[in-house]
Chain A
Amino acid sequence: MKTDIVVDTKGLACPMPIVKAKKALNGLEPGQVMEVHSTDKGSVSDFQAWVKQTNHELVKHEEDNGVYKFFVKKV
């Protein structure tokens, strides 16, 4: 998947992954896609809840060797 920005939050704990993702998302244009990497397992359900609430689109999320990757499309 083509992404416009990659936000690396590996090693960071809550609330930093979402703080960083939110900041990055603010700088995107509608339709652009942000890819967030996190090693915080707890962030999975927080991310889903956060994106749902902001009305952006969580295109997909996956786990790759302990790294959780979220793809969020700005609406």
Chain B
Amino acid sequence: MNSTADLDIMTARELTRIVLAKEKLFILDVRNESDFSDWKIEGESIDIINIPYFNLLDGVDEALEQIPEGTQLLVVCAKEGSSKFVAEQIAEAGRTNVHYLEGGMKAWSEHLEPVKIGELHHGGALYQFVRIGKGCLSYMVVSSGEAAVIDTLRMTDVFEQFAKEHGAQIKHTLDTHLHADHISGGRTLAVRTGATYWLPPKDADEVTFDYEKLEEGHDISVGTTTIRIQPIYSPGHTIGSTSFIIDDQYLLTGDILFIESIGRPDLAGKAEDWVEDLRNTLYNRYQVLSPDLIVLPAHFGKVTELGDDGRVMAKLADLYHNNPGLNIKQEDEFRRVITENLPPQPNAYQEIRQTNMGKITPSVEEQRDMEMGPNRCAVHDK
């Protein structure tokens, strides 16, 4: 048996490069139909079909009929085993350029791609970490041998390694709010590096650990230069949601304002209760800020929000023109749009919130399972 035929492994990093470069790729996703319709790999140049692996146990003819010859093929499943099983049969059937995704959708969900956003006025730089599979974004400010990480994701080793490579010591980890769609790595990273962990006090009523309070007007310095992180209380997605202005250039909006949409107000309470706060933040508090600020959110919802090299960023002034969520004139219309367009809640969001409060301590494997699926933090306005 020619067991290796023309079969290669593709890593999540290689797949990320393909998505960002808009290279052509045909994906056969062999997970079950409901998992596929819930969450899948997306990209502007990607064609994807779904045939569950249990339909391909006796032969892959059904798949071969639908896979165009001559294109690069990637077979994907939840963890890897089934995609390898199917990909082997496809390669043995004589197809070339056949791959399977190393680690499956779990690895895809965990991959972080660091991109540089820009330089800071007094030296140093701001980096964005794009969790492309799930649509989460973290940030690192690096200046004069010190670093601060904002909305740290669970994969803390990536941040430790990155800081090390840039000769910086992580001094602060900050969360814009208590996350409901993913498990924060902020506390773990702070413990590992001796950094201070900052949270908005209004989101932290029930947390079981010590933290520093993010309060309006309280600056946090990073490095010896005058980089200041100014927290702005900006409730709406959660009651305590806080935005940061870094170096007078960048506005980190957390889950309040995204590039093509706005945050949902219901994951930690009721939409009706917080819709007013959300409107006030978007239509009053952000309005008085400099329109030249570059908005950097904690999520993206669609691949169209990914810019050059995967960066997710836009000028505040442009968002006031283009983002539908910032262009709803009447307050009651806004209330209606927000409360009637809420997507399903993220997978295991209650357990994720409990984990982020320190109330439960799931194993790494359980944390992975809790985080499966898309982030679903935005209100879909179309």
Contact = CB atoms under 8 A, between A and B. Distances in A.
B81 A15 contact: yes
Contact of B78 (A14, A19, A53): A14
B54 A49 contact: yes
A14 B33 CA distance: 16
A22 interface: yes
Contact of A22 (B52, B57, B79): B57
B300 interface: no
A50 interface: yes
Contacts of A19: 57
Contacts of A53: 52, 54-55
A40 to B, nearest CB: 9
Given A49-B34, A50-B54, A15 B85 contact: yes
Give the interface SS of chain A, mostly helix, strand, loop or mixed.
Answer: helix
Given A14-B82, A16-B81, A45 B35 contact: yes
A14 B32 contact: no
A36 to B, nearest CB: 13
Contacts of A42: 78-79
A13 interface: yes
A45 B39 CA distance: 15
A14 B57 contact: no
Contact of B81 (A14, A41, A45): A14
B259 to A, nearest CB: 33
Contact of B77 (A14, A22, A41, A50): A14
Interface of B: 31-35, 52-55, 57, 77-79, 81-82, 85, 369
Interface of A: 13-16, 18-19, 22, 41-42, 45-46, 49-50, 53
- Top 9 A-B residue pairs of the complex, sorted by shortest distance between their CB atoms: A49-B32, A15-B82, A50-B54, A14-B82, A14-B81, A13-B81, A18-B54, A15-B53, A15-B85
Given A15-B81, A41-B369, 12 more contacts: A14-B53, A14-B79, A14-B81, A18-B54, A18-B57, A22-B57, A42-B78, A42-B79, A45-B35, A46-B32, A46-B52, A50-B52
